[in-house]
Structure 1
């Protein structure tokens, strides 16, 4: 079942970008592991992650993909790393380093990798220009921070990016992340009661839920018919909340199509990172089998566990085939 899987939610920090991040003194940056035991850490505004072969070495990634049974990954720079939200002058050389390396990776292994551009979100006009440049080099679209889509009014600020994406027929991956830099939080803060669960699960999923409402239940995308959209992490809590959304809509707009119908027949795709079989099955029921993509959040989470969750969701052969690769191949070619 997993032999032809396409992982639509996978992150990478190429060597050129890593070198630039080592020169920084503020997050996002790469520095020695604090334990003094060797190794390096990627320091973001909210956490520290190991920076090792799993994150930065595509040769090691290919070996791991073969072991997992993943045929192809769609590489992106996670918005939670905090690169794309920096002031444009800081962000531009960093995102360009990622985009150039991703173009080289695609050229070297087009059957194993696709990629989505990182953009300097602080300056939508320059972000649109970078999307055009990256698309010309072979990247399929871009990753955008979910906080840019909390409301339609927020999303309107990215009008130049959305217009460029429409001209290019690009794919937009809406990933948890801010649109402006946040203060660097200390590791010790996460030891407070369930702080990590509140931050990385509850807060992130709430913002993704708002992004789904903006993208799927407003008319925002009507002006951009050639754009395809993917929201990370099953679209937040929407699969669990959609029945309540329908009940609210009955009183708010009697006779109008309910949110469940609009989402199931709409344009928003979601990916499975990093959920178990019950949530995956619920998302397929909410969005329809044609709009759920396999995603692992590699290397933050284990693609093997993500594949096992998809296999255990009880979707049936047809829906499982769409989730594991069919939908991705339709979107990415």
Structure 2
């Protein structure tokens, strides 16, 4: 099969590798609860959702990929669940086993499943050691981190040791919505919680994270780290001109560094063709990747978002597979040339 038939999904989540059993044994969030009909619900930080086999059985995911024409998919540790925030003595061993499992899945599927690891964030020394291990020994491409560590420049400072470790062998970092260790979930809105939290607040959060990345020294201080901001950078494709106007009128000697946004990678998870068109004009197709947010969302990202977009055939192929392929190739080169 030629590369032009590749379709690489760079945003999905996976709760297998022993995590389901760990969560099932818990009685505090996150935990599993059996409904009256025998089905399972995951009781997570911001509510509950049906916990089906899509979440923890990679074979179900592979079948879904085949049905949609997806050839590769990045499976990430379920960062938003908050498991990686638990005390290290409680969760570190399970995280290590999960990461081993991800590496094994990559081997068994001949690279069709690409692993993005978790780290035990409650113990920074262990987290740093694990990011070294997953790159040096397991060959996983990187890690997922809760984006609340990157809401502000001050928050980001807590991650300096981990970023330094990640820079050693080169590392991809997905900055995904999630809490910090010890942080309580935000107050729930009084109405329409799913729309307000999972759409409006989430998209603003993604934009805040991208802002921290480009206004800090992260891109220059850690040149062997690649950063992925989810959901096309949130609201950025629609408000960057206002950011530029603010700088032009209030801080004329320091223009807003819009060009630095092109040093981050983005996925189009759970978004559609109109948002994708706007993002391509701002970031360029060579910074954007397919993303499904499977199993939370089950739309085919190619058919739902990319195919209907008014983009050139070259841009469509770039987003469908080439951006992700080039990124993974770059990361392997960094790993081999430590």
Q: Settle same-fold status: TM greater than 0.5.
A: yes
1:50 shift after superposition: 2.1
Q: How far does the alpha carbon of each residue in 1:164-220 deviate from its partner, in whole angstroms, 9 at most, with x for none?
A: 11111110111111112555899xx78x42122111112222221111001123322
Of 287, 298, 307, 1:311 maps to: 307
CA distance in 1 between partners of 2:109 and 2:225 (Å): 25
The answer to whether residue 224 in structure 2 is matched with residue 243 in structure 1 is no
CA distance in 2 between partners of 1:181 and 1:300 (Å): 25
CA distance in 2 between partners of 1:70 and 1:2 (Å): 12
1:94 and 1:30, CA in 2 relative to 1: closer, same or farther beyond 3 A? farther
The answer to whether residue 328 in structure 2 is matched with residue 332 in structure 1 is yes
Instruction: Assess if the C-alpha contact under 8 Å between 1:293 and 1:324 holds in 2.
Output: yes
Q: Quick check: 132-141 or 318-327, which moved more?
A: 132-141
1:97 shift after superposition: 3.0
Instruction: Assess if the C-alpha contact under 8 Å between 1:92 and 1:120 holds in 2.
Output: yes
Number of matched pairs: 326
Q: Quick check: 197-206 or 59-68, which moved more?
A: 197-206
1:118 shift after superposition: 0.5
Matching residue of 2:30:
28
CA distance in 1 between partners of 2:76 and 2:219 (Å): 22
Instruction: Assess if the C-alpha contact under 8 Å between 2:4 and 2:317 holds in 1.
Output: no
User: Which secondary structure does the structure 2 equivalent of 1:84 belong to?
Assistant: helix
CA distance in 2 between partners of 1:32 and 1:2 (Å): 44
| Runs of at least 5 residues in structure 2 that lack an aligned partner in the other structure | 330-338
User: Which secondary structure does the structure 1 equivalent of 2:74 belong to?
Assistant: strand
Map residues 1-333 of structure 1 onto 2, 5 A cutoff.
3-33=5-35, 36-135=36-135, 136-181=137-182, 192-264=190-262, 267-304=263-300, 307-333=303-329
User: Which secondary structure does the structure 1 equivalent of 2:71 belong to?
Assistant: strand
CA distance in 1 between partners of 2:102 and 2:265 (Å): 23
CA distance in 2 between partners of 1:252 and 1:218 (Å): 20
Instruction: Assess if the C-alpha contact under 8 Å between 1:41 and 1:51 holds in 2.
Output: yes
1:271 shift after superposition: 0.6
* Root mean square deviation, CA, Å: 2.1
Q: Quick check: 248-257 or 226-235, which moved more?
A: 248-257
CA distance in 2 between partners of 1:75 and 1:259 (Å): 32
Instruction: Assess if the C-alpha contact under 8 Å between 1:147 and 1:179 holds in 2.
Output: yes
Instruction: Assess if the C-alpha contact under 8 Å between 1:245 and 1:259 holds in 2.
Output: no
1:257 shift after superposition: 4.7
Q: TM-score, normalised by structure 2?
A: 0.90
Q: How far does the alpha carbon of each residue in 1:131-171 deviate from its partner, in whole angstroms, 9 at most, with x for none?
A: 11222112110001110101122112111211111111110
Q: How far does the alpha carbon of each residue in 1:223-275 deviate from its partner, in whole angstroms, 9 at most, with x for none?
A: 101111101111111111101011011134325453333323xx211110111
1:185 and 1:167, CA in 2 relative to 1: closer, same or farther beyond 3 A? closer
CA distance in 1 between partners of 2:91 and 2:242 (Å): 40
1:13 and 1:314, CA in 2 relative to 1: closer, same or farther beyond 3 A? same
User: Which secondary structure does the structure 1 equivalent of 2:32 belong to?
Assistant: strand
Structure 1 consecutive aligned stretches of length 4 or more whose deviation exceeds 6 Å = none
